[in-house]
Structure 1
Amino acid sequence: MRGTGTVTRGDLMYIVLRKYTKVRSVADAARRAKSGIGQILRQSHGFRSYYVLDGGDGVGVAVMIFEDRESANAANAKILEFVQASLLDLDLGDPEITAGDVLVNIGPDASSGIKCS
């Protein structure tokens, strides 16, 4: 990616967004997920980072970044088990899931990448 404007294999990323719209307490869900999901993700091949944001009015969004789709799918199966076993009382409901390959990556150091086919 450096200087070429294209994303190289080492720069590829796959992102999974899970949006929950009826969370009783996003802060509580995030606190409880931090240790359980954090442990799962730290042990997952291809894991890069994880974020939870509070969108207000019961909306919570989890963002997981992986090196590739296969790594994301493997970790996601384990995370679903954790959520169903440990966060059921929060009535999270079924999330809206959006996932895909990163096509553009712009960093603070003015470097950027564009995935070209």
Structure 2
Amino acid sequence: MRGAGTAWRGGLMYIVIRKYTKVRSVADAARLAKSGVGQILSQSRGFRSYYVLDGGNGVGVAVMIFEDRESADAANAKILEFVQASLHDLDLGDPEITTGEVLVNIERAASSDIKYS
């Protein structure tokens, strides 16, 4: 079963999670990354969505969702270059990176029905 509003080819999705634990200002990092990462992702094949959250105490997490691993790997390499070149002043350190294929997807559709994949 497919989730609401999706058009996946066969499988579900692939997610990349980048966790930074020594961020001076997650809000500043998110603001600076928004335009640069946003531009990279908007031009990336297979890109679905991007989220940044402030976990408190210098923890920043970025979540990127793609159609497949190949798309995620290609975009992730470009984003790493951008972060190293453009966000070095924020002393983000090396992120902990977790990646993988989505095994379960549960979404609330516009009709308020919950969809399972």
Normalising to structure 2: TM-score of the pair? Answer: 0.89
Write the distance in 2 (CA, Å) between the matches of 1:104 and 1:53.
22
Deviations 1:58-117 (A, max 9, x none): 00000000000000000001001100100001000000000000000011132101xxxx
CA–CA distance in 1 between the matches of 2:87 and 2:27? 13
Aligned length: 108
In 1, the alpha carbon distance for the partners of 2:52 and 2:28 equals 11
More divergent stretch after superposition (11-20 vs 27-36): 11-20
TM norm structure 1: 0.89
State the identity %.
83
Matching residue of 2:100: 100
1:112 aligns with 2:116: yes
Question: Structure 2 matches for 1:78-97, cutoff 5 A?
Answer: 78-97=78-97
Counterpart code for 1:111: K
* Code of the aligned partner of 2:114: A
Kindly report the root-mean-square deviation, in angstroms, between the aligned alpha carbons of the 2 structures: 1.2
1:41 matches 2:41 = yes
Q: Give the deviation of 1:11 after TM superposition.
A: 5.4
Distance across 1 between alignment mates of 2:106 and 2:54: 24
Unaligned runs of 5+ in 1: 3-7
SS at match of 1:98: strand
TM superposition shift of 1:9: 3.2
1:28 corresponds to which letter in structure 2?
D
Which stretches of structure 1, 4 residues or more, deviate above 3 A after TM superposition? 8-11
User: In the aligned structure 2, how far is the partner of 1:33 from the partner of 1:13?
Assistant: 23
